[in-house]
């Protein structure tokens, strides 16, 4: 359950980062009211990809910590 919560927080964080990146990149990729070819490829994929990357970046440390806890001897402290 802990990993699911971390994944959801990472997903939300990734979405927020994607929105900021989209706001920064959009003026560069849209010129005179027309979207460039690069903009047509990048802008629609930016939010989903950043959300997935955020979820992955949030879950990896959680999984490492859980694995470290399982491999430590019983009585050892963090």
Q: What is the mean pLDDT of residues 5-15?
A: 94
Its domain, for residue 57, covers 2-61
Is residue 20 very low, low, confident or very high in pLDDT (cuts 50, 70, 90)? very high
Q: Would you say residue 6 lies in a domain?
A: yes
Is residue 21 very low, low, confident or very high in pLDDT (cuts 50, 70, 90)? very high
Structural domains counted in the chain: 1
Q: Would you say residue 68 lies in a domain?
A: no
30-63 pLDDT, tens digit per residue, is 888 898 999 899 999 999 999 999 999 999 988 8
**CA 11, CA 69: separation in Å to the nearest integer?**
25
- Beta bridge partners, 9, equal none
**CA 17, CA 51: separation in Å to the nearest integer?**
8
Q: Would you say residue 71 lies in a domain?
A: no
Its pTM surpasses 0.85 = no
pLDDT of residue 77: 58
């Amino acid at each position: 359950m802990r990993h699911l919560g971390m994944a959801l927080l990472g997903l939300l964080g990734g979405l927020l980062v994607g929105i900021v990146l989209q706001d920064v990149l959009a003026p560069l990729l849209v010129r005179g009211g027309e979207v460039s070819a690069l903009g047509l490829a990048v802008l629609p994929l930016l939010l989903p990809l950043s959300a997935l990357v955020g979820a992955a970046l949030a879950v990896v440390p959680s999984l490492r910590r859980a694995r470290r806890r399982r491999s430590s001897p019983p009585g050892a402290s963090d």
